[in-house]
């Protein structure tokens, strides 16, 4: 065996030990392809599927039709679908209603609270309007959606009561010109999240897709988590679960492949800035570093206009919603 092969083997073995120590369990969606078997396990559970949206008219209808046909009409596994929207300028809300979902603007839920916009805000609001004790979160820009996205996420929750939070992972292709790079997606995870986790929360490197927008959990767990209002919500959940001693109740499921709308570098830069705010707040909270000044919320970048470089500044704060359990008296007077 050459030295390179030995290094690879040793690395893989180490990861397996890490998973075992944490109680990390892995599944493949094919293990839960029998919808009727899951229905028999459902019992008294109520299942809600929630999608946060902003201008998702191109893909939303197909996703909702698939969910309704396969998991409501053919087999009544899920009980409701909620679309919580940030104020789309396209037909997203109309499509959601036409295709059988409950659809609401995020600002209409808990209207007395301070108003924010963003993915995490929509997920937090969805948890307030949805009635399920099992919650499935899905991104709404998926191009290759199938019922296995929901079945794979629900399977571990329905078959193992010690699992409370199921995270997806998958192959992530990236469109490049006229071709596709099959494993080049997830750029922010690879260049930012994974290095930071390796430095400060090495146990979390067991998570293959830490920013995956497809996951499912028990309501009781979600109601005890804070929700950053933007893109930081998924990484916040993982760090907080780990810090609260809940990480051994998490599992991962392989959904094979996920194709969605790829974002340009400008959008990824903005997303990265928001993620860093969420992570650095937790690093300080957890005693892993000390910030001598407050984190700035002004993101600065450059745009090339002909031969001129134009500086652009924008406010990109990432406020956080507190755990819903802490607001129960306000939400249900």
What CATH number is attached to the domain comprising 195? 3.90.550.10
Closest CA to 234 of 258, 216, 260: 216
Q: Crossing angle for the helix pair 233-243 and 119-129, nearest 10 degrees?
A: 70
Quick one: tokens of 308? 């001129």
CA angle 185, 53, 299 (to 5 degrees): 65
Residue 288 has pLDDT above 90, yes or no: yes
Can you give the residue range of the structural domain that contains 175? 3-264
Q: Does residue 61 sit within a domain?
A: yes
The answer to whether the beta carbons of residues 233 and 120 sit under 8 Å apart is yes
Domain total for the chain?
A: 1
Closest CA to 228 of 298, 322, 297, 127: 322
Residue 216 has pLDDT above 60, yes or no: yes
Give residue-wise pLDDT tens across range 146-195. Answer: 999 999 999 999 999 999 999 999 986 655 556 544 554 467 888 899 99
Q: Does residue 319 sit within a domain?
A: no
Give residue-wise pLDDT tens across range 225-247. Answer: 999 999 999 999 999 999 999 99
Determine the longest span between alpha carbons in the chain, in angstroms. 67
Q: Does residue 217 sit within a domain?
A: yes
Residue 7 has pLDDT above 80, yes or no: no
pTM: 0.87
- Position 51 scores a pLDDT of 98
The mean pLDDT of the chain is 87
- Position 248 scores a pLDDT of 92
The answer to whether the beta carbons of residues 116 and 319 sit under 8 Å apart is yes
Q: Does residue 322 sit within a domain?
A: no
Residue 6 has pLDDT above 50, yes or no: no
Range of 11-20, 228-237, 300-309 with top mean pLDDT: 228-237
> With bands split at pLDDT 50, 70 and 90, how would you rate the model's confidence at 16?
very low
Mean pLDDT value of segment 184-210: 88
- Position 177 scores a pLDDT of 53
Q: Does residue 231 sit within a domain?
A: yes
- Position 82 scores a pLDDT of 98
Q: Does residue 110 sit within a domain?
A: yes
Q: Does residue 283 sit within a domain?
A: no
Least confident among 60-69, 78-87, 165-174: 165-174
Q: Does residue 118 sit within a domain?
A: yes
- How many Å apart are CA 215 and CA 229, to the nearest integer? 17
């Amino acid at each position: 065996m050459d030295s390179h092969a030995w290094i690879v083997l040793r690395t893989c073995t180490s990861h397996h030990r890490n998973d075992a120590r944490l109680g990390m369990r892995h599944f493949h969606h094919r293990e839960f392809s029998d919808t009727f078997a899951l229905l028999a396990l459902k019992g008294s559970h109520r299942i809600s599927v929630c999608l946060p949206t902003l201008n998702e008219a191109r893909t939303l209808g197909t996703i909702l039709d698939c969910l309704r046909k396969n998991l409501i009409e053919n087999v009544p596994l899920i009980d409701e679908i909620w679309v919580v929207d940030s104020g789309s300028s396209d037909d997203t809300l109309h499509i959601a209603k036409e295709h059988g979902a409950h659809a609401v603007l995020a600002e209409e839920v808990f209207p007395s609270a301070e108003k924010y916009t963003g993915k995490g805000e929509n997920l937090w609001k969805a948890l307030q309007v949805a009635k399920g004790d099992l919650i499935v979160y899905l991104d709404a820009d998926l191009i290759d959606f199938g019922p296995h996205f929901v079945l794979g996420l629900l399977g571990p929750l329905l078959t193992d009561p010690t699992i409370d939070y199921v995270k997806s992972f998958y192959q992530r292709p990236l469109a490049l010109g006229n071709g596709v790079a099959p494993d080049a997606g997830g750029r922010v995870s690879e260049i930012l999240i994974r290095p930071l986790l390796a430095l400060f929360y090495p146990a979390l490197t067991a998570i293959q897709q830490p920013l995956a927008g497809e996951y499912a959990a028990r309501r009781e767990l979600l109601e005890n988590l804070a929700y950053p209002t933007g893109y930081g919500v998924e990484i916040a959940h993982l760090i907080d679960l780990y810090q609260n001693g809940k990480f051994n109740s998490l599992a991962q499921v392989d959904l094979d492949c996920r194709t969605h709308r790829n974002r340009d570098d400008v959008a990824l830069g903005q997303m990265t800035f928001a993620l860093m705010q969420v992570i650095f707040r937790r690093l300080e909270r957890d005693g892993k570093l000390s910030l001598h000044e407050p984190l700035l919320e002004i993101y600065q970048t450059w745009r090339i206009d002909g031969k001129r470089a134009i500086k652009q500044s924008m406010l990109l704060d990432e406020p956080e919603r507190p755990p819903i359990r802490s607001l129960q008296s306000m939400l249900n007077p």
